[in-house]
Amino acid sequence: MGGDTVHLGDEPDLAALYEMAVGGTLLPALVGFFQGAAAVQARGLKASTLVRFTAKWFEMINSVLPVFAREIDSGDYTRPMSTVNLFLAGAVHDQNLGEEANIDVTWHAPLRELLKRAVESGHGDHSISALTEVLKKPEPAA
């Protein structure tokens, strides 16, 4: 149905794994758009005015995914386009937007905590893709 049939391997659960792995981007991306819609509506503007700008952001994200994938696959986060510290500093602006537009931005709290954990783990000056390392749970002791 999707028109992009790919053989992922012989393990029967790989299609489901990839579906869930990629699907993890859907809700956060949509909630981000909904937050923007609420913010512009708070100023009397239409949500439809965001679409072209949001699409540009998605194009930018699309362009950096191969770079992030290389960093993650190599485990080398030392040549960042954007650092964890930069994203953490930007989190203040999200909070300010919520206050100014009178919208709920509490959904950002777990993301800020993830950024803080990354800094505490020594990834502050590393690429934002180093969050992958923080998302991995340690192996249980044997």
Domain positions in the chain are 14-135
Query: What's the chain's Rg over C-alpha atoms?
Result: 18
Domain at 14-135: CATH code: 1.10.1040.10
Structure letter (DSSP) for residue 136: S
pLDDT digits (tens, 9 = 90+) for 44-100: 999 999 999 999 999 999 999 999 999 999 999 999 999 999 999 999 898 898 999
Q: How far is CA 100 from CA 37, 51, 96, in A?
A: 14, 22, 6
Q: Identify whether the C-beta of residue 53 lies closer than 8 Å to the C-beta of residue 47.
A: no
Using CA atoms, how far apart are residues 119 and 124, in angstroms rounded to an integer?
A: 4
pTM equals 0.86
> Which is it for the CA torsion 141, 118, 128, 21, positive or negative?
positive
The alpha carbon of residue 11 and the mean position of all alpha carbons in its chain are separated, in whole angstroms, by: 28
pLDDT at 6: 83
pLDDT at 2: 62
